[in-house]
Structure 1
Amino acid sequence: MKSETVLVPADGGTLPGDLVVPDSARAVVLFAHGSGSSRHSPRNQAVAAALREAALATLLIDLLTAEEENEDVVTGEYRFDIALLGRRLVAAMEWLGAQPGTRDLPIVLFGASTGAAAALQAAAERPDRVLTVVSRGGRPDMAGDALPAVRAPVLLVVGGDDHEVLRLNEEAARRLRAANSLCVIPGATHLFEEPGALEQVAVTVRDWCEERLRAAPAEQEPS
C-alpha cells in the first residue's frame, strides 16, 4: 500500500491531499468534504479506511487553498460556491488521470454535505471518468441543473433522523435521470454520530462500489 501527501494544481494554486493506493487497487475514491470541514474529517477518514480494505484507493483533498480556508472562516465566501468546488474536483480528477498509480482506475466521487453537490457537478462535466457518485448526508439539491445531466449511477446515503436533508435528497433523486438509490440509515442524524451508524455507511458504500465495478464491464460492452 502506497501512501503520500500530494499537491494538486487547480486555479493557479495547489490543493493538499492524502493519496493512498492499495496493491491491486480497482478504483480510486475522491472525497469532497462539506462546508467547514477538511480532508482530516474523522468521518471521511473512517469511511476511507474501510474502503481501502476493499482494494479501493482513496484521495482525500482540501478543495480550498490555505488562504481561501482562512478567508472562508471569517466570511463563509467559498463554502457554498458549488461551481468553484466542482471545478476543483474536476482538476483533481485530471490530476489522478495523469498519475502512474491511478491513471487507469475508474473514479468514485464521494461527497459529504455541500461536497456532494460539487461531486455531482464534476460528474456531469466529466461523465467518461466517473464510475459512480456517492453522497453521505449530502446536499445534492445544491447541484441545480447538473442533476439531470449526471450519467453515472448515484448513491444517496442519509440518516433516518436527518429529516430535512432526507426530504432534500428525495427531491434531488426525482430530478436525477441516472440510476440512483436512496439508502436511509435508521436512527442516524446528520453526522452519523450514533453507535454503528458510520460503520453502516462504510459497508453500504463498499457494497455499492463493488456492484458498480462488477456492472461496469457489461455496461461498457457495445450494443
Structure 2
Amino acid sequence: MGNGRERTVDHEVEHRAAERERAIVPQRITLPTGAVGLHAVITLPETPRALVLIVHGCHPGAECPRDHVLAATLHHTGIATVMADLLTPEEDHGKRALGSFRYDVDLLSRRIDDVAAYLATRPATRALPLGIMAGQEDATSLVYAIARRPDVARAAVLIDPYLHIAGPFLPALQLPTLLLVTRDDVHMLRYASQAVRSAPGKAELRVFHAPTPSPPVELALGDHVARWFQRHLTPAPSAVASGSLTVPGAPLAHPQETSHAQ
C-alpha cells in the first residue's frame, strides 16, 4: 500500500515538472568567447527579476534533465536562465579521450567570465542581477572564475560539487554560495564542508536525505536554488520602482534536508 502511494506521489511530481517545462519557450543562442561561439539555451519570463547562468563543460549539447527541471523552476519564480555549454562540440569530441578540455579549469573558468561579461551587455539581460550555477566537475571551474573575478555574479550555487582541486581557491568564495549535496560521498561532503569553513558567512551547505529518487529530488533542489537566488539577487531599483516585477508561483515541497552554515 505504501509503494502505491509513493508511485502516486512520484507521478504527481513528474506531472508538475512536465507542466512547468511546457510553460517555457527556450531560445537557442550563441555566446561569443575568444575565437569560438558556445551553444546556449535562454528562457525569459515575461517580466524577469534576475538571471541565472547554468554552466556545464562536460559533454556539450547532451540533454541534462536536472538542469531543465531547475531552469523550469527558476522560470516559474520569474528568474530568467541561460544554460551554456562551456565547450564546443568539436572540442568535446576531439579532446574527450585525453580529458584536456574537461579538466582545463583555467580555460573553462575564463569562459564563464566571458559569458557573464557578454550577458551584461545583451539588451535582454544586462539589467538583470546575475547568479551562476554549476555542478560536479564544473563547480571547480566556477570557483576558479569567482577567484579570478569576484564580481562575476552576485550569488552562486554548486550542486554535488567536486572540489578536490579547488582547495586553494575556496577562500575566494566571497559571494553568497549555496552548496547542495545529494550523494552519499564522504569526499564530496568533506570538501564542501571545507568550502563553508573557508568562506564563513558567505557559503552554506545543505545535505539532502531524499526518501525517493528523481524527479522529486530535482524538484526539491529547484526549490532551494530558487529560494537562494530570490534571496540574493535583488532586482534593479528601476524595475522595482516601476512595479513591473511579478513573481508568480508557490514554493515546492522538499524532502528532508540538513543545513550546515558557519
Which residue, 186, 194, 199 being the options, matches 1:176? 199
Q: Is the 8 A contact 2:173 2:202 kept in 1?
A: no
User: Corresponding residue for 1:18?
Assistant: 41
After superposition, the C-alpha distances for 1:112-152 in whole angstroms (9 at most, x for unaligned) are: 11111112222233333411010011123433433212321
Q: How does 1:57-76 map to 2 (within 5 A)?
A: 57-76=80-99
1:201 equivalent in alignment to 2:221: yes
Aligned-partner SS, 1:28: strand
The percentage of aligned residue pairs carrying the same residue is: 30
With a CA cutoff of 8 Å and minimum separation of 6, indicate the structure with the bigger relative contact order.
Answer: 2
**Which deviates the most, 29-38 or 130-139?**
29-38
Q: State the TM-score, normalizing by the size of structure 2.
A: 0.74
Q: Please, which runs of 5 or more residues in structure 1 have no aligned partner? A: 218-223
Greater mean deviation of Cα atoms: 31-40 or 61-70:
31-40
- 1:176 Cα deviation after fit: 2.3
The one-letter amino acid paired with 1:24 is T
Cα shift readout 1:177-215 (whole Å, capped 9, x = no counterpart): 561110111148xxx954521111111111111211359
Superposed CA RMSD? 2.4
Q: Is the 8 A contact 1:141 1:169 kept in 2?
A: no
For residue 173 of structure 1, report the CA deviation from its aligned partner.
2.0
Determine if the alignment matches structure 1 residue 164 to structure 2 residue 187: yes
Alpha-carbon distance in 1 for matches of 2:193, 2:144:
18
CA contact (8 A) 1:140 1:169 kept: yes
Partner residue, 2:132? 109
Q: Letter of the aligned partner of 1:91 in structure 2?
A: D
d(CA) in 2 for partners of 1:34 and 1:64? 6
> How far apart are the structure 1 equivalents of 2:51 and 2:191?
28
Question: Residues of 1 paired with 2:167 and 2:58: CA distance?
Answer: 17
How many Å apart are 1:47 and its aligned residue?
0.7
Q: Which runs of 4+ in 1 moved over 6 A?
A: none
The one-letter code sitting in structure 2 at the alignment partner of 1:64 is L
Q: Extract unaligned runs of 5+ from structure 2.
A: 1-23, 238-262
Range 34-43 or range 167-176, more displaced: 34-43
* Aligned-partner residue type, residue 229 of structure 2: C
What pairs up with 1:124-203 in 2 under 5 angstroms? 124-159=147-182, 161-177=184-200, 179-187=202-210, 193-194=213-214, 196-203=216-223
Are the equivalent residues in 2 in contact too, given 1:32–1:118 (CA < 8 A)?
Answer: no
Distance 2:144 2:78 in 1: 26
TM (norm. structure 1) is: 0.86
- Between Structure 1 and Structure 2, whose CA radius of gyration is higher? 2
Comparing 108-117 with 168-177, which one deviates more in the overlay? 168-177
Which of 67, 83, 86 is the aligned partner of 2:106?
83
Distance 1:159 1:2, change over 3 A: closer
Secondary structure of 1:165's aligned partner: helix
